[in-house]
Amino acid sequence: MTPEIVAAHGVRLRPYRAEDAADAAAGCDDPLTQRFLPGLPSPYTEADARWWITEGAPAAWAAGGAAYAIADPKTDRLLGGVGLGQVVAYRSQAEIGYWVAPWARGRGVATAATRALAEHAVATGIARLELFTHAENTASQRVALAAGFRHEGVRRATGPTRDGGRTDLIAWVRLADDPPGPAPRALPDLPDGRLTDGVVTLRPVGPDDADLMFRLHTRPEVVANQPPPVPPTREAIERRCALAGSAWLTGTIARLLILDAATGEPAGSCGLSVTEPAFGEGMVGYALLPAWRGRGYATRAVRLLAGWAFGPAGMARLVAGTMPTNTASHRVLENVGFRREGLLRGRLPGLNGTRVDDLVFGLLPEELR
């Protein structure tokens, strides 16, 4: 590619200039930028910015990639950077990356710049664009989806960390012949960020919910009804909560807290997994803290979750697996309209190499009560 100005989607991509150094240093030394771009010098100084402008960016162009400043089309102030690297010419493939300065976040700048450069790259012969995000960087994952990149999987230990370790990165891909617009999602966002019936409210689980989730999911009666019946570690729960946003965006599972709508007090949790994407099937699960049991909260939560699954999520069928002895859970499902579909003998792992049965319930949209 050659360094030419690209103006599209409300941003202007241009080569870096000497006068960008102060803004580039401030943007790249920002804690959020530093967290998710561990290859940057730390601290990032104006001297580092000047090196990038005079040597780093020109080297990217010379290698067949691109290194653009994202500029405000009205003021020409630097808003961030976007570029192409890891170019594999015989595959017509490249990797796209970006950063946005703190003063420009929340305005769709990263999405606009990524779309603009992706379209320009495709127009100049690139057939496949890759984009990698840290698993906890949900903002960047939203950019990828909004720019038309589709989730392709996880690259294990492909990202170096500042402490010398390795971390997984999520891979997103856009092909030259992909349709324009945002990539489809199996699990859309909740309307207004929550679901409620006035008594129960559901909202997404986040990193700050680890204490509650650990307390709930290590209770003996909750552990006894999960396969295998082994309590999760604190570390596992913290990771589950930290990656809940990513799991939602990649279409794996939507994890939600069940709250009392009047007080906001947590009552439990529930979730919707995408089990058979090609067939439009999902699986629901739920658990309540003792103080909230027997008050219809689980039934209300599952009903809300099922309505969202059949509505905005576009699912055709829901299933729920239960322990044959968990009669309280059976009543919840039947109250929502689920029907018993069969006993799968020895389907689930138990303790010490044993196997346990799974009593399966199913629900179709017209059966939801």
CA-nearest of 114, 134, 247 to 174 is 114
Note the pLDDT of residue 250: 96
Cα separation values, 74 from 12, 78, 112, 261, Å: 9, 11, 15, 45
Digits of tens for pLDDT over the chain (369 positions)? 667 899 999 999 999 999 999 999 999 999 999 999 999 999 999 999 999 999 999 999 999 999 999 999 999 999 999 999 999 989 999 999 999 999 999 999 999 999 999 999 999 999 999 999 999 999 999 999 999 999 999 999 999 999 889 999 999 999 999 998 999 999 999 999 999 999 999 999 999 999 999 999 999 999 999 888 999 999 999 999 999 999 999 999 999 999 999 999 999 999 999 999 989 999 999 999 999 999 999 999 999 999 999 999 999 999 999 999 999 999 999 999 999 999 999 999 999 889 999 999 999 999 998
Query: How far does CA 179 lie from the centroid of its chain?
Result: 21
Going by C-alpha positions, the residue among 134, 98, 95 that lies closest to residue 114 is: 98
- Cβ atoms of residues 96 and 131 within 8 Å: yes
Residue 216: strand, helix, or coil = helix
The answer to whether 132 and 95 are in contact (CB under 8 A) is yes
Cβ neighbors of 284 (< 8 A, separation 6 or more) are 270, 271, 272, 273, 302, 305, 306, 309, 318, 319, 320
- What domains appear along the chain, each with residue ranges and CATH number? 6-175 (3.40.630.30), 191-367 (3.40.630.30)
The whole-number pLDDT of residue 361 equals 97
Query: Which of 97, 73, 75, 53 has the alpha carbon at shortest distance from 5?
Result: 73
- Which residues 6+ apart lie within 8 Å of 292 measured at CB? 258, 260, 267, 268
pTM above 0.85, yes or no: yes
Given this model, what pLDDT does residue 4 score?
81
Percent of the chain with pLDDT strictly greater than 70: 99
Tell me whether the omega of the peptide bond preceding residue 43 falls within 30 degrees of 0, making it cis: yes
pLDDT at 1: 66
